[in-house]
Structure 1
Amino acid sequence: MKNKFMKIYENISKQILDGRLIAGDMLPSENELAESHSASRETIRKALKMLSEDGYIHKVQGKGSIVLEMKRLDFPVSGLVSFKELTQKMGERAKTYVETFEKINPSPALQEALKQTEDELVWKVIRVREIDGERIILDKDFLAEKYVPLLTIDICRKSIYEYLEEDLGLSIGFAKKEITIEEPTKEDRKLLDLEGFHSIVVVKSLVYLDNASLFQFTESRHRPDKFRFVDFARRK
């Protein structure tokens, strides 16, 4: 049985995702929420704390809780997060389609990127990410077979990182990223819903295991209106 605060969290988050509460709205006070949900203020505080941690609201001292924009996904610039982890609270709103799944001999450019020879095989996985019925991300992943000997379409549809960490026992360490703005390619326009858009955000990443072994090159192509790339910076 779910805790009371989880039920309250799910109720308020659903109102935000459904558009019944929009960005800039103030939530009712803790007392009002406690009364409307027949709960204690401590229970309400737990629900609000979780809503704040998950980016649904921002708590302002002395004013209350403000609803945040949830139509965009926050991609951490310096973090490593899978699409499944990013969208796990969206349920059926987020879908993944595997467009290409094959094992290839790397091209010269890919050999250079992954530090491989032409005889070393690479998994090529192209996936389209759909949210709320719109295809808005094109992920092109290349994984070195010597580190990932087995892969399936079903794994690619669910989460490659989850499989690597939980099934293969690999420890993903860090990534080097490059972010550029480019004109959409024919492939972008074929696979994504880009009508009216003349640019696309491209994130290229070299991903390393914890032992500094380079195992993945990925190119993630984003429709610019649905995403923002965030980071936390501190002046030294």
Structure 2
Amino acid sequence: MLEKNSSIPLYNQLIDVLIEYIKMNLNDDEKMLSEREICLKYDVSRTTVRAALNELEEMGYIFKRHGKGTFVSGLWKEMQNLSDAYSFTEQMKQMGKVPHTQVVSLEELAANQFVAKHLGVEEGERVYKMKRLRSAEDMKMMYETTFIPAYLFPDLTISKLESMPLYELFPRLYNQDIKYADEEFYASVLQEKESEKLGLPAGSACLRIRRTTYSQENEIIEYTLSVARGDQFVYKIRHSKK
């Protein structure tokens, strides 16, 4: 049950409880408990319930049918292994290519206003900034700049980053399991410095990707800006229409 004196917000607790309820009691396309039923069952306010349901919808556990109510979605099953869904390493392997990641740099610094905003931390808080060059079959594919909060990843080193993919490092060394990630991407052209990193002429087509990754506690644990070569990198998305 929910612990109202816990430091974990009620809606976060409710999300976990409802996920377990869905997995144990409901099938795909079956009608979900109503807001009122959830309020009564777990003794929480409608505001808390709505916040939890909104997140469950974003996570692929439920979907809404206009005028009919809320139903269970099977989309979460497809998204269960987020390491696969968001891993460059796994994506390249699936394409039959040998992936390689070079950690170009790692530094600890104070978050400026931009970084603080996107990591959900206070301006001036310590963060790690890393730059990585991602390749496949010796072809440079993507250049990434990643920011992560230093307090969640103490004593992070280049050797640790080189020992395993980032999304394996998060849970194995720091007990930070990924809940979900939001991504935005758009077509662009390479600037001069970027073209040097990827070995392409300036002005070449590229794909720009912005990713914000969240932990199971709904904390932002990663903000990454990527530029990928447009002539080789294929970005796959599955849309589910209910």
TM-score by length of 2: 0.60
Structure-2 change in CA distance of 1:85 and 1:155 (3 Å): farther
Q: Distance in 1 between matches of 2:95 and 2:240?
A: 31
2:218 alignment counterpart: 212
Asked if 1:190 corresponds to 2:196, the answer is yes
DSSP-derived class of the 1:232 partner: coil
> What is the total number of aligned residue pairs between the two structures?
161
What is the letter of the counterpart of residue 145 of structure 1? A
Q: Distance in 1 between matches of 2:108 and 2:229?
A: 28
1:192-227 per-position Cα deviation (integer Å, ceiling 9, x unaligned): 121386221011011110111112100121101112
- Over the residues paired in the alignment, what is the CA RMSD in angstroms? 2.7
2:110 alignment counterpart: 105
Instruction: Assess if the C-alpha contact under 8 Å between 2:191 and 2:203 holds in 1.
Output: no
Q: Distance in 1 between matches of 2:215 and 2:118?
A: 15
1:179 alignment counterpart: 185
1:146-182 per-position Cα deviation (integer Å, ceiling 9, x unaligned): 2112311122223122111112222111111111122
Q: Distance in 2 between matches of 1:198 and 1:89?
A: 26
2:240 alignment counterpart: 234
Q: Distance in 2 between matches of 1:197 and 1:132?
A: 24
Structure 2, unmatched stretches of 5+, are 1-81
Asked if 1:169 corresponds to 2:175, the answer is yes
2:100 alignment counterpart: 95
The offset of 1:88, in angstroms, is 4.6
1:60 alignment counterpart: none
Structure-2 change in CA distance of 1:113 and 1:192 (3 Å): same
* Structure (1 or 2) with the greater helix fraction: 2
Instruction: Assess if the C-alpha contact under 8 Å between 1:80 and 1:174 holds in 2.
Output: no
1:81 alignment counterpart: 86
Structure-2 change in CA distance of 1:137 and 1:228 (3 Å): same
TM-score by length of 1: 0.61
Q: Distance in 1 between matches of 2:235 and 2:208?
A: 11
Report percent identity of matched pairs. 21
2:146 alignment counterpart: 141
Higher relative contact order (CA 8 A, sep 6+): 1
